[in-house]
Structure formats: C-alpha cells, structure tokens
Structure 1
Amino acid sequence: MERAELVELLTPEGLTLLDEVAGADTGDVVATVSRLRAAGHSPSLVASVLTQAKLRAKAQGKFGAFAARMLFTEAGLEQATRLRVAALHAGRFDSAGLTRVADLGCGIGGDAMALAALDLEVTAVDVDEVTATVASYNLAPFESAQVEHASAEDIDLDRFDALYFDPARRTAGHSNTARLTQPSDYTPSLDFVFAAAAARPTGVKLGPGFDRSLIPDDAEAQWVSVDGHVVELGLWFGAVARDGIHRSALVLDSNGSHELHAGADSDDVDVAPLGEYLWEPDGAVIRARLIGDVARTLGAGMLSDGIAYLTGDEARTTPFATGFRILERFPLDERTLKRALRARGIGTLEVKKRGADIDPAAFRTRMNLKGPNSATLVLTRVAGRHAALLCERL
C-alpha cells in the first residue's frame, strides 16, 4: 500500500466502502469492481478496499474477530504476531509490574494491541510512515496507546520502564518483501537491541531460525509453535525473563498451552533399536534442543544420530511430539514402495522425511496412488541406514 492509497482509504467514503465490501460476498471480483465503479468510486479506491477486504479475511487466523475492524499491509500481516501469542508477550510485562512499554518496530500494531488491552501505557514506534499510520488506526480504540513515526534509534528510551523489539527482518516495502538472511542487516541492529536490553527489561521477537550462537547468555530463549508451525523465537531479559530458564519450547494448539523448559540444552539420549512406535518432536522442541527431555518422558531413544525422530515400544502421548504406530519397514526404494502402497489400497499418503534427500510432493506424485485407505510414510534413516516406515497416527 502506498501513501496515496492509504490517504484515500482513510476518508469517510473509503472507510464506509470498506465496511460495505468487507461484509459482502466478493467472490465475483469482476462484477464487484464493475458495480463499485458504476457507483462512482475511483479505480484506486476500489482496488484498495478489495485488497483490504481480502487481507481482513486472511487475518482472521491471527486476529480472530478483531480483524474485521483493522487495516493491514500485505507485509505487515505476514510479519504480525498472532494475537494469541501477543497476549502471552503482554502478560510478561504485566506480571512484572511494568507499566510504560515501548513497542519498537510495531508493524501494524499486533503486540501493542495486546499490551494496551491490559491497560499498559504503550508507545508503538515504526520507521515506515504507512505502517505507523496503519498501526495508529488499529490502536485508536485503546486510550493507553499512542503511535510515533520514528526509528527506534531516535527514541528516548529513558521514557519507558520496559522495551519490546521486533526488528525488521525483511526488505523494506509493504508487499513482496524478501527475508534478510544476515542479522547485521536487521533494523534496528541487534547490537542496538542487545545494548538496550542490558539496561532495562526487554523482549525481542526474532525468526525461529535465528543463529543460536548469537543468543546472549543472560537471555531466556523461547521458541513458540502454533498448531504445529514454529512462528517465532522470543528473547527475554531482566524482569520479563524467568529465573533459571534459558531454553523453552512453548506449544500452542487446540488443547491449550504446553511448555517445556530448562536451564540449558537438554542432554541427548542414545540411539535405540527401531521399536513399535515413532515420534516426531514439535519444531519448537527441536529448535530449543530439548529433544532429550521429551525422549525421557516417552521412554524412547533416537532413531538415528542427527535425525530428530524418536522410537520406543510404549504407546505414550505428549503435546511435545506427534506419535505414530509403525506398521512396516521397507527399504527406501521407490519401486518397492509403489508396489506395497498399491497392494494396501493406499490412495491418501502423508509423506514425512528427515535425513533423506527427497521432495515429498514429487515423491507422492511418482507413487501414482489409488485406493480408499490412508497412511503416513516416513522416509528417513534407521541406525544410519536409509529406510521407509509405513505408519499410522496415534
């Protein structure tokens, strides 16, 4: 979204039209455009409201019912914290008795909304004018929130008793942005962020693949997964960090919130013979390097050195790993597997792989599946040797 588009959208005509369009069936885009143009609306406004209607629908997964009254940019929505996760962030500041928080790199305002919902005084800051304006719109219902268009480096941090950073990890722009691979290219720089964190309670949102060697020794590092997808790494310092916890895996699913934490990476377990069951640890557990702790709760061992699968003989369940019953083991040979799957009438196949250089989608196509049955096929290594494990979920 460019500045001129946002200016037009924020007029009474634009916002009224957005509410009308967002609440209507716009499946036939051509007909909708023709109708709105015939009503006298400009092509640019029609394009803007249709884009916003699409983004509001997409945003429901992150913001639920709140999305219906928010504005978005494509990049801002993609990078925004899910409201469920943002509420947990805000809870740390609230529990620590911190009342004046700066959200630096606020984006469209997701985390600032969660902070303001707890009546904390939040100043949301973004260097991009359009993004800051969108955040201002989204935060308008909250009396304790304000927005500043500025860079984090230009803000007087002494005004606040706590900080929350979400450094820009993608190229500038409001759509079609690219991920920055070097932390040195983040805005603000991590040197600035970590220096600020040394002076006052601070939270930092980073990508889950962030280089672990760059995590400061005094940080609590928490990897968060939502419905099986690892969405962020949070680093917490000072009063918003928990004593004695330096590694945490937080798993959020339909059954609630589950956390595994420790003072350091957990000790590994030994490789075990292939048992009757296989477990795939949650991505947050893998990132936090707490696989050993999960393995011990399951009475399981590693399937193979360097492969994040566990195996054992008891059908135990845990929110920190997905369990499978192993039905049969095959060599990792496509012709053998194709015959076996066809003989079993398997037409729907979930393909998982670790330690095997195979594209699951392409592999599934080559199997030419037919039949009424379904199964999971795990392509991996067992005790260092390639194998295919036909499984069913527990």
Structure 2
Amino acid sequence: MDAATARWLVGPEAADELAGVAAEADPSSLGAAERLRRRLPPERAAAVTAQVALRRRARTKFGERADRLFFTPDGLEQATRPRVAAWRADRLRSTGVARVVDLGCGIGADALACLDAGLQVEAIEADEVTAILAGANLGIEVTVGDAVALLTPPDPATAVFCDPARRTASGRSWRVEDLSPPWSFVESLLAERIACVKLGPGAPHALIPDGVLATWVSDHGDLVELSLWSPEPEPGRSAVLLPGGVLLDTRQAAPPPAEIVRPEPGAVLYEPDPAVIRAGLVDLLAEHLDAGRLRPQLAYLLGADHRPTPFATAFEVLEVLDAGEKTLRAWVRREGIGTLEIKKRGVDIDPAVLRRRLKPKGPRSATVVLTPTLDGVRALAVRRLVGR
C-alpha cells in the first residue's frame, strides 16, 4: 500500500466501503472481492479487503476497538497488548510527566494507551504509510522521520518511550548492531531522560545498562516484554504480573541461594511465573515461600506446605516415581489415566512424544512433572492447588 492509498483508506469515502465489506458474511469470498472491484480501483479494493481481514484478526488482541483501528500486518503482530500498554502508560503517568514522546510508534498501540491515561502524546514514525494509519488511530498528526534526528532536548515534564526495532531480513535479532534506533542512542535516552524502553523478554541480561529498573512483564502467565525504566532511585530487577499488577523485585537485600531439597509425597511443588524466572528472582520467591530448589539453577521450588502466591502455580506432590518409560507406562495403566498432562524442566524430553508412547487410556486425568532431583530424574505425580 502506498501513501496515497493509505490517506484514502483512513478517510470518509473508505469508511463506507470498510463497513460494507465487514458486513459481508465472507469478506474474503470471490463474490465480495468482485463486487468491491466494480466500485474501486484495484489498489483501493485490495487495501479495503486487507484491512477488514486485519481488523478481524485484531479482535483477539484489541476486542471491539479493533473495528475502529487501522493496521498493517507487521504493526498488528508487533503491537503491545492493550492491558500491557495501559499498565505502562499508568506507570509513566505516575512519574509526574504530562507528555510522552513515542519514538517509532508503529500503528500507535502504546501511544493510544498514553492518550487513554490522560497524557499528551507526540508520535514519530519512520514509515509514511504506518504513520498515516497511526495518525488515524490516535487522532493526532504523526511526524514522519528519523526518531534520532527529530528528538527534542530533554524536558522534565516529558518522558520518552522507545521500542527499538529488532527485525532483520532473516527475522528477529538480538545483535546490538541490528537494533534501530541504535543501542548507543537507547543508552543515551536511559542515561539522560525520563525514559521507558521496551525490549523482548529474551533480551540478554548483559544488554541492560546499570542504574535502570529492568521489569519483566507477564500477562496471564505469558511472558511478553522487558521494559527498562530511568531514572530510578532504586535500580534493580522486577517481575510484574498482569492483570493484577503485582510486583516482586530485588530492591532489597538479596536472599541467599535456596536450599536444595528432595521431593516427597505431601510436599508442595511451585512452578514460578516466567517473569519471575527471567528476572532471576526464584531465590527471592523461595525465601517468601520458605521453599527450596530441587536442583541448583532449576526453577522448580518445593515447600512443606501450601502458601498461595500470585508468583507461582502450586501443585501437591502425590507420588514420586522413577522417570523411566516402563515405570510410567505401568503407572498410567494402573491408575486408569486417559488424559495426561506432562510438564518438564531441565530434562531433554518431548512431552507429546512421551505421551503417545505411554498410551494413556482410561477415565481419569493426571499431571506428571519430569525434573532432575538430588536422586536423579524423577516423575512427580501432582495435583494443582487452588489459589495458585
């Protein structure tokens, strides 16, 4: 899509066409496409059809609001979940700023959350077509150009938000030299301004500058991003769990490494949220739960009793079994297991392949956890406990 088509697409004439195609029982059918091409030039017809399809896909992420927004395929894929964007916008507002500059705004998902939070927004986007669509989404003029060149001098009432592009021709990349804007520019933002930088949750810890708060964000158990915040009077690492926004962080004395313990029936196995694991806060969680690790560097924790926590899923250990396939097949048969969930950590096993080989058949369901222990790899038959 070129810029002229994008400007038409966000205008009033296209609104009627978008509504008409969206009302079709099957907008992608040959009949719908043929009727549209009778009225519109090919490039406009294609843009309308593609936009209706993107809006339908976007409902999973944006709900009913998707039907009022404009998307590109990459913009939809890369857009922050609204719940996460709202959390970030609220945190930016809590710093006391009145205005946010969004460098590389994409389709405007993060800037939209800032507007919803009552912040003024300046949005900059390098791609003209994307900027036109973002402007329609935001109801403001989006500046087209190089974010590095267009950024104005620091202002104590203004925060800067930056989501460096992490894609190359071969896909996602964590090579510092592949990031855009350049990582040196991102570091200068964090050193000199009120800033938030969004990165993928798998960003190397070595990339994180000193003096910032590094926050790994989990949404309903999905690890979705790492955000870096500055300036921070108490820098460190934190895990935030949405939708509740509960926080676990290192801005206190670091606990000693957790004790290594053996699993026994009746004990409680804790599987920490991925944000806790990625933030390196498993030992801190173990201290809160009075729990130990099954093995050094292994994220599973084991406690004597159940202490409900939002930061981990809890299981009662029902039985400790040898992890050999023969033993497990006999256990599945003896217990009449027909539905079997297999979880694992620290072992090179494909749960789907193992499940087929165990041939579960019966009326009961069960969960088994395969994990290294002090006594070797074991299979723990477990039961989920309510209240996490």
- Does 2:231 align with 1:263? no
Shift of 1:8: 5.7
Give the counterpart of 1:184 among 177, 184, 188: 177
Classify the secondary structure of the residue corresponding to 2:300.
Answer: strand
- Does 2:300 align with 1:312? no
- Does 2:224 align with 1:231? yes
Tell whether the 8 Å contact from 1:93 to 1:99 is kept in structure 2 after alignment: no
How many residue pairs are counted as aligned between the two chains? 378
Counterpart of 1:18 in structure 2 is 18
CA distance in 2, matches of 1:16, 1:338: 61
CA distance in 2, matches of 1:91, 1:61: 23
- Does 2:262 align with 1:273? yes
Classify the secondary structure of the residue corresponding to 1:64.
Answer: helix
Tell whether the 8 Å contact from 1:266 to 1:291 is kept in structure 2 after alignment: no
| Aligned-residue RMSD, C-alpha | 2.4
Tell whether the 8 Å contact from 1:268 to 1:291 is kept in structure 2 after alignment: no
Gaps of 5+ in 1: none
Counterpart of 1:246 in structure 2 is 236
Tell whether the 8 Å contact from 1:244 to 1:262 is kept in structure 2 after alignment: no
Give the counterpart of 1:301 among 292, 297, 305: 292
Q: Deviations over 1:340-361 (max 9, x none)?
A: 2233222222221111111223
Counterpart of 2:186 in structure 1 is 193
Report the TM-score, using the length of structure 1 for normalisation: 0.88
- Report matched runs for 1:306-345 at 5 Å: 306-345=297-336
CA distance in 2, matches of 1:202, 1:274: 45
Shift of 1:380: 1.4
Tell whether the 8 Å contact from 2:24 to 2:32 is kept in structure 1 after alignment: no
Shift of 1:392: 1.6
Report the TM-score, using the length of structure 2 for normalisation: 0.89
Counterpart of 2:148 in structure 1 is 153
Gaps of 5+ in 2: none
CA distance in 1, matches of 2:322, 2:4: 60
- Report matched runs for 1:353-368 at 5 Å: 353-368=344-359
Tell whether the 8 Å contact from 1:56 to 1:67 is kept in structure 2 after alignment: yes
The 10-residue stretch of structure 1 (363-372 or 226-235) with the greater mean CA deviation from structure 2: 363-372
Counterpart code for 1:80: A
CA distance in 2, matches of 1:156, 1:218: 23
- Identical pairs, percent: 44
Counterpart code for 1:19: A
Q: Deviations over 1:76-135 (max 9, x none)?
A: 112111111112222233222212321012111111111122332211112122222221
Shift of 1:308: 0.6
Shift of 1:45: 4.5
CA distance in 2, matches of 1:57, 1:365: 36
Tell whether the 8 Å contact from 1:163 to 1:201 is kept in structure 2 after alignment: yes
Classify the secondary structure of the residue corresponding to 1:194.
Answer: helix
Pick closer, same or farther for the CA change 1:392–1:49 going to 2, 3 Å. Answer: farther
Classify the secondary structure of the residue corresponding to 2:56.
Answer: helix
CA distance in 2, matches of 1:14, 1:336: 65
CA distance in 2, matches of 1:270, 1:295: 9
CA distance in 2, matches of 1:47, 1:344: 57
- Does 2:101 align with 1:102? yes
CA distance in 2, matches of 1:15, 1:365: 51
Counterpart code for 2:247: E
Counterpart code for 1:20: G
Pick closer, same or farther for the CA change 1:286–1:21 going to 2, 3 Å. Answer: same
